[in-house]
Every structure is written in C-alpha cells, then in structure tokens.
Structure 1
Amino acid sequence: MTAFIDKLTAGLSRVWSGFVRDWERSLRAGNYPETTRYNYLLAACQLARYLAEHSPDPDADDAAEDPTAVTRAHIEAFQAWMIDTRSASTALNKHKALQQFFKWLQLSEEEIDRSPMERVKQPKTPGRLVPVMPEADTAKVLATCKGKAFTQLRDEAIIRLLCNTGARLSEVGRLTVEDIDLNTDSVRYHGKGSKDRRVRFGPRTARAVSRYLRSRAKHKGADLPQLWLAERGGRPLEPNGIKIMLKRRGLAAGLSGVHAHRWRHTFAHAWKRAGADTGDLMLLLGWTSEDMPRRYGASAAAERAQETHLRIGIGDH
C-alpha cells in the first residue's frame, strides 16, 4: 500500500499528503479492506488535484494547500466536474468517500468544526440495468480458454468461479490458496466489512480449479500465498488484471461488455427464477441489506414477470 500512497500523493502539498497518509493509517487500524482504502484515498487526492489544477475558483489556492480550507462550494464544483469528465455514478462514489474523509477530519482529528459535505447533495444517478450473461455467451468466453497452457487453465478457473458462485471481482481476485478446499468443493470469500463466507461450487468448477492448481504448482511464484499468478514474473495477478483479462476474453469471443458483475447479476436472476429462498441468496452473495436482492437481476425482472404470467395464465382459462 505504501507504493500506492506514494503514487497517489505525488505532487500534492505537504499538508494534503500528510493528512492522506494519516487517514490511511486510521483506515488500516479500522480494518477497512484494501480496495476500500484505495478508493477512499483516491477520492481525497483527486479533490486536492482538482483544486490545484482545474478549479476556476480563485479562492481554491488555500484549499489546494490544506484540506481544512475546503468549502461546500469547492466540493460542489468538484462534483460537477466529476459528472462532466467521468460520470454521475463516479461522482457519487467520490461523494461517499469524501464524506468519510471530512468526517475523519472533523471527529477523529478535530481539525474542522463542520464538514464541507454537510449540505452537499448526492448526485443523482440513472438507474442503469446490468444485463445478465446468457449461458451461450458464457460458453463462448470459456471456449477461448480451451487448452493446457497456464493462462488458459487459470482463466477458465476464474471465470467458472465467477459464474458458479456469483462472487464479486474483488473477492475472487483476493483469494489465497488456503481459501480453496477441494475436499468439500468450496471456497472461502472475504467479503465487504471483513465478513467471511464459505460457498460451494459444482464439479466442473472443481475440475477447473484442480487443473489450475496442478499447473500453478509448477509455475514461477508457486510459493506465494495468492491463488492467482501472473503469466510472467512470479507475481500475483491483481483484480485489475483479472478485469482486463475478462474484457480480452470477451472480445476474443466476439462479445463486448464482459465483466465480472454481469455473472453476479446472472446468479441472482437464476436464483430468483428457480424460486429459491431470498435469505439463502443473501448469505451466498454476502449481502446484509434486503434492497440488494431487488437490485440484482433487475434487468431480467421483466423476463421473469412474463414467464410467471404465462405460467399462471390469468384470464386465459
């Protein structure tokens, strides 16, 4: 994480850099997941850079030097800039991260009396539907992994775990060798909020994982604890590397928009279609909010409604 912080804070004022580093230590002490810490820190550093390089406000110079000088107007301008240059959903993620940063400055560090986020409204985001992944498309992606080369075996195991367990990309990407249990054909995921859960997988996934582990044992870096290894260099394959791999495999299969979250939505859709228990789905996918089952698989809700309509046959008897 030190290398990430050095990169993130490069070019920032000494005061901003110092606060970001102290916040990272506080987040680590609070046992926040590494991905969450990185996203939080990135948002704070992006705000600092915006104030120094892009803000049209002549009064932004002080805020670019010291986060305690940031005002509500600075935040709103940054949020609007994020919507214009990225997207509303990205701006929303930055909003949530900055809420935590200024809350820390106010309550933990007592550096400010009031948070500049106090009356800043969250950006509204369009309710985009994530399309499910048809079985035929999954088969096409898996077909690009046929063979006995290390990357082919690794990529098939990753894809089968994603579609067979509905896990998050970060959860699959952060697995260790010890998280896999081939005696019970199950995997231990480390979910959000440091919540662990064990999920069973099917025989085809078990075979793919077992074949990968045999190949991994002969690969450079086999002594590393991380489950997924890069093709070269004896180093781990990071979640972002998996993201890139999935996109590449998708394009090779003639498909666009292939990403891990589509299999998570597909898992939820298939579970609902089978009429299985929503509480069990929440346990398997690591959800604590009952809103999540309604959100996931929403893109296929109309399809499920049509199927139910045909099955019941209202007014057609």
Structure 2
Amino acid sequence: MLVMDPSSLDDLRELLGDFEAEMRHKNRSDGTIKLYRRHVLMLVEYLEANELPTTAPEITREHLRDYLTNLLERPNRRTGKALSPQYAHGVYRSLQQLWKYLYAEEIIDSNPFDRIEPPSVPEKPTPVPATDDLRALLKACEGTGHAERRDAAVIRLLVDTGMRVGELIGLEVESLDFAENTALIVGKGERPRVVPFGDRTRTALRRYLRVRSQHHAAHISALWLGRRGRMTGDGVRQMLKSRCKQAKIDHIHPHQLRHFFAHNWLAAGGQEQDLMMLAGWRSRQMLARYGASVASERAREAHRRARPGDQL
C-alpha cells in the first residue's frame, strides 16, 4: 500500500493546483491565473536552485524577501537587461495572493507577507496620445473594406468608452444596443457593465456591421472578425501597430487609449465616481494612475477657469 508523505501535500508544486482552483472560484480571469502560476513556478525554481525548502510552512519571510531582491538583480532571459521594478512588484502581488490563500487554509500559521514591503516602483506615467495623432490614426483607416471599417470602429470604441482590450474582443454582435447607444461588456472578475458611446462611434459601428454581414464568418456571435474568424487581443495590438505605421505616428498601445479616455473625461469636468463606474474600477487608486502624465495640464486648466487671484 502506497503511503503519501503528509509533508509532500504542502509542497508548493502540489498546492499550486488547489490555489488555481480557488482563484477560478473567485472568478479570476484565465490570464491572471496563468500569471500567478508562472510567478509561483519561478519562485519554486529559485528555491530548488538554492537548495531551499519548497514546503509552504518551511518557507520563511527571509526566503521570500531574498527572492524578491534577487528578482531586481536578475537579467531578463530575452533582453539581458535587469528585470524592472514593475515586474518584481507584479511577482510580489502574485505571491501575496498565494500566501493569503495558504494562511486562510491554515496550511501556514502566519502570513510572512504581512511583514514584507512590496518592491518600490518609480512613478512612470503612461503617455496619453495626442488628439492629432488619433485623428491621423483614424484617417489611416479610411476606406470601405472590411478591415478599414472594422479598425475605425475598434479605435473609436476604445477611445469613446475606455474599455480594455479583453473586454473589446469579448463583445458579441448582440452586445450592442443602438436604441440606447450602449455596449454590454464583461470586465475583470466576470463583472458586467454597460458603457455608452457617442454618435460618431455609433456610425462607425453601423458601417462595420454592414460589411461584416458579408464576411465568411458572419454567422458566429463574435463582433470583431479577422481573416480566419474571431479577432484576438493580439490581433487588435497588431492592427494598431500597423495603422500607426501607416499614419506615420509613434506606436500607440491599446491601453494608452484607455488613458486618453480617462484624461479627457476628467479634463472635461467629468465626475470621478462616474469615471470609476464607466471604467470598471473598484479602487480610487486607479484614478491617480490613469491620465497621471497630464494631470498637471488639467490642474493648470482648472486654475485658469477658477482664477482665484482675480477674485480679489
């Protein structure tokens, strides 16, 4: 009769499957769970390479702290450059979630992350695209073909709603409501929300739907279609890269369009609480992060409107 060593049940490799199941139960996205898995296995490799314990109760605060420090000194396997503080911070957050789970399951007696500070991340605001660049980008999409109509609609919808790429590609034809000019999207944690769009976006979407009806994959429910069927997130990123090159402007990442949306909402005097609802944020910390690179510009404009010194 095979008897399993009880301590092996607490090995991180054995616990990883249980942790993933718990994350699925909490509606974490597949992408987030894959990221957690990659970061946990990176830690296991480090522990094994340094002949350190991989059994959860035996892993100490010092082991984890040394590992996070090592990350900042480790070169990227592809570029050879040191890993960024942002990357180390992401690893910290992943491992923090695992140890929170281990403590909740009483696999460990105390949580070492309660006394480990996250890696310091220098503030690096995401640049907000210039309006003229976005106009040039849309001009590069002029035409009546499927790709041109689709790309124009994609760009306008991203700019007009601030939705994430993952939310964009999850849209179906029936997600659009032209009676209300809204789109029903499913955000992080499988949380649905309705976002409105303007008349120009409506026009772009209607034009796209007309040419979409002639596509060989028009029968599937996905809104965005590529050559082979459903358009992917990588397809959206590649499309933007190609259109930026065609427009002869610097590359614009899809997430910069989300920053553009947030910045312009706040610059126009939009309420922060409304922005949180539209963007699908639960934490007010996101308000400080999005559009931070042009926050000083908004402050100057607010001062010009208020003119406090001129009131005396």
Question: Taking structure 2 as the reference length, what is the TM-score of the superposition?
Answer: 0.82
Is the CA contact 1:150–1:231 (under 8 Å) kept in the aligned structure 2? no
SS at match of 2:115: coil
Alignment match of 2:167 (pick from 165, 171, 174): 171
Partner of 1:276: 270
Change (3 A) 1:225 1:72: farther
- Higher Cα Rg, which structure: 2
| Cα deviation, residue 30, structure 1 | 2.2
SS at match of 2:34: helix
1:75 aligns with 2:64: yes
Q: For 2:239 and 2:181, locate their aligned partners in 1 and report how far apart those are by CA, in whole Å.
A: 25
Question: Taking structure 1 as the reference length, what is the TM-score of the superposition?
Answer: 0.81
Is the CA contact 1:151–1:231 (under 8 Å) kept in the aligned structure 2? no
1:93 aligns with 2:87: no
Alignment match of 1:153 (pick from 134, 149, 160): 149
Is the CA contact 1:186–1:199 (under 8 Å) kept in the aligned structure 2? yes
| Cα deviation, residue 41, structure 1 | 2.4
Alignment match of 1:203 (pick from 179, 199, 207): 199
Matches within 5 A, 1:251-270: 251-270=245-264
Partner of 1:230: 226
Equivalent pairs counted in the alignment come to 293
Deviations 1:87-113 (A, max 9, x none): 1112111111111112223323x4333
| Cα deviation, residue 198, structure 1 | 0.9
Alignment match of 1:240 (pick from 234, 237, 257): 234
Deviations 1:39-70 (A, max 9, x none): 22232233234445xx5x3x23x42xx55654
Structure 1 unaligned blocks of 5 or more: 1-14
Structure 2 unaligned blocks of 5 or more: 1-10, 74-81
Change (3 A) 1:117 1:278: closer
Q: For 1:147 and 1:187, locate their aligned partners in 2 and report how far apart those are by CA, in whole Å.
A: 25
Match of 2:95, as an amino acid?
L
Q: Which region of structure 1 is more displaced relative to structure 2, 110-119 or 250-259?
A: 110-119
Matches within 5 A, 1:1-317: 18-52=14-48, 55=49, 57=50, 59-60=51-52, 62-63=53-54, 69-84=58-73, 85-108=82-105, 110-232=106-228, 234=229, 236-313=230-307, 315=309
| Cα deviation, residue 173, structure 1 | 2.7
Match of 2:71, as an amino acid?
M
Q: For 2:17 and 2:283, locate their aligned partners in 1 and report how far apart those are by CA, in whole Å.
A: 32
| Cα deviation, residue 220, structure 1 | 3.8
Q: For 2:211 and 2:253, locate their aligned partners in 1 and report how far apart those are by CA, in whole Å.
A: 25
| Cα deviation, residue 33, structure 1 | 2.6
Is the CA contact 1:174–1:239 (under 8 Å) kept in the aligned structure 2? no
Match of 2:151, as an amino acid?
D
Deviations 1:218-269 (A, max 9, x none): 334333333223322x3x3222332333233223323334112222222222
Change (3 A) 1:77 1:256: farther
Q: For 1:98 and 1:37, locate their aligned partners in 2 and report how far apart those are by CA, in whole Å.
A: 12
Match of 1:198, as an amino acid?
V
Change (3 A) 1:48 1:225: farther
Q: For 2:46 and 2:234, locate their aligned partners in 1 and report how far apart those are by CA, in whole Å.
A: 25
